[in-house]
Amino acid sequence: NLCICFQYTFWNFIPKNLFEQFRRIANFYFLIIFLVQLIIDTPTSPVTSGLPLLFVITVTAIKQGYEDWLRHKADNAINQCPVHFIQHGKLVRKQSRKLRVGDIVMVKEDEKFPCDLIFLSSSRGDGTCFVTTTSLDGESSHKTYYAVQDTKAFRDEQEIDALHATIECEQPQPDLYKFVGRINVYHDRNEPIARPLGSENLLLRGATLKNTEKIFGVAIYTGMETKMALNYQSKSQKRSAVEKSMNVFLVVYLCILVSKALINTVLKYAWQSEPFRDEPWYNQKTEPERKRNLFLQAFTDFLAFMVLFNYIIPVSMYVTVEMQKFLGSYFITWDEEMFDEDTGEGPLVNTSDLNEELGQIEYVFTDKTGTLTENNMEFVECCIEGHVYVPRIICNGQLIHDYTGMDMIDSSPGGSRKEREELFFRALCLCHTVQVKDDDSVDGLKKNRFSRRSCVYISSSPDEVALVEGIQRLGYTYLRLKDNFMEILNRENNIEKFELLEVLSFDSVRRRMSVIVKSSTGDIFLFCKGADSSIFPRVKEGKIDQVRSRVERNAVEGLRTLCVAYKKLTAEEYSNVQKLLQNAKLALQDREKKLAEVYEKIERDFILLGATAVEDRLQEKAADTIEALQKAGIKVWVLTGDKMETAAATCYACKLFRRNTQILELTTKKIEEQSLLDVLFDLKKTVVRQNGSLTRDTFSG
């Protein structure tokens, strides 16, 4: 499990560093000049170019050697970090670098995973753990990972050590969100039980364990084969825009130098074309010089002129730039405005080679959620068959968040209406991957309804937490997942249990997620929630127009919307679904494609229940930041998977769009209503009419 991020070793530093330095045009040029001065008779001493070149090479080598020494120190700290292995049924403490594929490791809360691990078991009863991947992808939210079904009940070292299993997986590759594998668990002499392994079972090196006492995992990728290492490995040495520009200028000056040397050589021989001209009595040519080859003599004179004029290219240019980069990296480290008070850490500069690139940025691509917005979601309302439910009220101008009743618009009680309400609330309580942080506080919920507020929910998606907390204020509380049964507390303070049969995870292509659950009465439900563009085409029944109208209204106000639908499955239908899912999950080749095909077959013919609206407030000073970037000449693009109306509302709020901004909308809906040619023609007419007053085009789609 040896981690190697350094570039040089004690043995290869000098040759490798010299090779990299002489790849630079200026350094290579002065090396040639120095060699020419050594070989031929030149008007200047070799010392005049040799000493400056030696100084430049030495200073750069010291700077690069020091930075690489810091990388050596960081690698040693990681490689010598103590890790708990399981050996012969007991915990053994060893250095991280001694970890090998197949070793079983125990990781405690707030520790980082030493390599890529297959998650076997957890101290949590439901076989899950929470992880933050800030150092990998910048996401600070807690992500939920799941232990292998056959091993999640293991609690101690002896049980783990007695495990007999084999793992098949794909070759190491850098995609953090993709993993395909299969584990075969052997029980006695019976045939092995095959279980699929996906990215939800893979704990990545560099991620941190949170809100979980401990986990056990088996090493699957180690050392430079971990996903973190594969993402950090550089294919080639990077060169900044400034250095590339310098190289271009050097080539231009080199051409000027060659031209000057060539012109002076020609003029010399033109001047000395007559015999004995320019030969005073004290400097007459010797006989061997007169018989020397003319072309060889001309070439020697050309090189002499090159040496004479070589100072047109400054030898200290590279070392000046290198020292500026080196010292500039310390100014970044010392910058108090970049200090994070929450973590107590400032900026860390791993290499100074690309410092100046920070000032060369022309485009900034930003996500909307969590970047422009706070990613702190708050449930605003839900719409069930056209009736709006708001889990909060305004009293005397004051917003009361703890209101547990419902504000119904267009209320018309009815048996069918009540049934749909309860199905909607159950769907939101069941269709998610939320975990309850403190299970011990759940027991008292049976007796005291208000203790439902003590539940602390954790999820990788803040939307899901907001929905579960919002539904809690409407009378339904998600309690926990225990022994594969999801428990919810209804309005009558009765606990309902649903067996979790299948989870059809969310992905950005489908833009929806589903769960299949079985009630205590034996009914099997498939609950689905997702974007309106993903749900509406798959609905066969329900008040689509009323719900669609409310969704569009909320989107224009900048709210995040989701639609909820369901359908009932017979035992035979579920049996077929289970077989299709199992075959797709066990596939090692094209698993994602096969799962997508199965999901497409399952998620159809829904009955629409309603929609939700969640508010995500704008980040503090987001508008000022975007305005400052635009004043600096940087073009800001917002990339989001949200609805077009929601994205536009956010762009207006953060001042990316102005009132006079001309918007060119290229969406599927727009193109269906009007051909692309007509859209562009209308835009052209607007531009001509406004005589170039178009401030910005935005392309959405």
> Tens digit of pLDDT for each residue in 380-409?
999 998 888 887 543 433 444 444 444 443
Helix (H, G, I), strand (E, B), or coil: what is residue 584? helix
Q: What residues form DSSP beta bridges with 217? A: 105, 119
521 labeled part of a ligand binding site: no
The reply, when asked if residue 560 is annotated as ligand binding, is yes
Instruction: Measure the CA–CA gap between 207 and 116, rounded to whole angstroms.
Output: 9
Task: Return the H-helix or E-strand segment holding 612.
Answer: strand 606-618
Quick one: pLDDT band at residue 410, thresholds 50, 70, 90? very low
Mapped to the 3 state alphabet, what secondary structure does 669-685 carry? HHHHHCCHHHHHHHHHH
Neighbours of 293 (CB within 10 A): 9
pLDDT of residue 568: 92
Instruction: Map out the domains of the chain as residue ranges.
Output: 13-77+239-319, 84-232, 376-570+605-616, 660-701
Give me the residue label for tokens 């009220």. 393
> Does the annotation flag 529 for ligand binding?
yes
For residues 484-507, give the mean pLDDT.
89
Least trusted range by pLDDT, from 250-264, 463-477, 639-653: 639-653
Helix segments in 272-414, DSSP class H: 287-290, 294-308, 317-334
The answer to whether residue 620 scores a pLDDT higher than 70 is yes
Half-sphere exposure (Cβ direction) of 604: Cα atoms closer than 13 Å: 7
The CATH code that applies to domain 84-232 is 2.70.150.10
Lowest mean pLDDT among 165-179, 224-238, 513-527, 549-563: 224-238
Start-to-end CA distance of the chain, whole Å, equals 44
Report, as an integer, the average pLDDT of 419-445: 76
Name residue 660's amino acid. N
pLDDT-derived band at 434 (thresholds 50, 70, 90) equals confident
Which residues pair with residue 613 across a beta bridge?
A: 381, 561
> C-alpha distances in angstroms, 143 versus 110, 243, 407, 528?
14, 41, 34, 21
Strands 539-541, 512-518: pairing kind: unpaired
- The alpha carbon of 141 is separated from its chain's Cα centroid by a whole number of angstroms, namely 13
Q: Which of helix, strand or coil describes residue 654? A: coil
Collapsing DSSP to helix, strand or coil, 406 comes out as coil
* pLDDT number for residue 395: 41
Neighbours of 499 (CB within 10 A): 15
**What residue type is assigned to position 173 of the chain?**
Q
pLDDT of residue 256: 92
381 membership: H or E segment, kind and range: strand 373-384
The answer to whether 369 is annotated as binding is: yes
| 263 or 32: which leads in pLDDT | 263
92: β partners: 85
Distances (CA, A) of 423 to 417, 494, 557: 10, 16, 27
Q: Which residue has the tokens 């049964």?
A: 485
What lies within 8 Å, CB to CB, of 593 at 6+ separation is none
Q: How many helices (H) and strands (E) does the chain have?
A: 20, 29
Residue 41, marked binder: no
Residue 92 has pLDDT above 80, yes or no: yes
Band of the pLDDT at 603, cuts 50, 70, 90?
A: very high
Q: Is pLDDT above 80 for 32?
A: yes
Q: Is the pLDDT of residue 541 over 80?
A: yes
Give the pairing of strands 606-618 and 539-541.
parallel
Task: Specify whether the CB–CB gap between 92 and 85 falls below 8 A.
Answer: yes
Give the model's pLDDT for residue 237: 63
Tokens of 154: 């293991």
Q: Taking residues 574-584, what's their average pLDDT? A: 91
DSSP 429-442: HHSS--EES-GGGS
Average pLDDT (330-336) is 88
> In 10 A of CB 357, how many CB atoms?
12
Q: What mean pLDDT do residues 188-210 have?
A: 88
The reported pLDDT for the residue numbered 665 is 77
Across 350-361, average pLDDT = 79
Closest CA to 156 of 90, 212, 217, 98: 90
Select which of 75, 161, 367, 507 is catalytic: 367
pLDDT of residue 285: 67
Per-residue pLDDT for 428 more than 90?
yes
Q: Give dist(CA 277, CA 27) in Å, integer.
A: 39
How far is it, in rounded angstroms, from Cα 155 to Cα 306?
A: 78
**pLDDT reading at 610 higher than 70:** yes
Whether the pLDDT of residue 649 is over 70: the answer is: yes
The CA-based angle 176-180-182, given to 5 degrees, is 140
Q: How confident is the model at residue 499 (pLDDT cuts 50, 70, 90)?
A: very high
Q: Is the pLDDT of residue 431 over 80?
A: yes
- Which pLDDT value is given to residue 398? 42
Q: Which residues contact 459 (CB under 8 A, 6 or more apart)?
A: 141, 142, 144, 432, 433, 434, 435, 465
* Percent with pLDDT over 70 in the chain: 86
Does the pTM exceed 0.85?
Answer: no
**Residue (of 400, 356, 318, 428) closest to 58 by Cα position:** 318
Residue 367 annotated to the active site: yes
| CB within 8 Å of 699: residues ≥ 6 apart | 664, 666
> Which pLDDT score is estimated for 144?
86
Compute the distance between CA of residue 305 and CA of residue 333 in angstroms, rounded to an integer: 47
pLDDT score of 563 more than 90: yes
Distance CA 179, CA 166 (A): 16
DSSP characters for 146-193? E--TTTTT--SHHHHHT--EEEEEPPP---TT---EEEEE--TTSPPE
DSSP one-letter code for 324: H
Burial of 445 (0-12, 13-18, 19+ CB in 10 A): buried
Query: Which of 164, 171, 163 minimizes the C-alpha distance to 220?
Result: 171
Q: How confident is the model at residue 427 (pLDDT cuts 50, 70, 90)?
A: very high
Q: Which CATH superfamily is domain 376-570+605-616 in?
A: Calcium-transporting ATPase, cytoplasmic domain N (3.40.1110.10)
Mean pLDDT score, 111-137:
88
Whether residue 438 is annotated as binding a ligand: the answer is: no
Per the CB < 8 A criterion, the answer to whether 535 and 511 are in contact is no
Cα distance between residue 446 and residue 111, in whole Å = 36
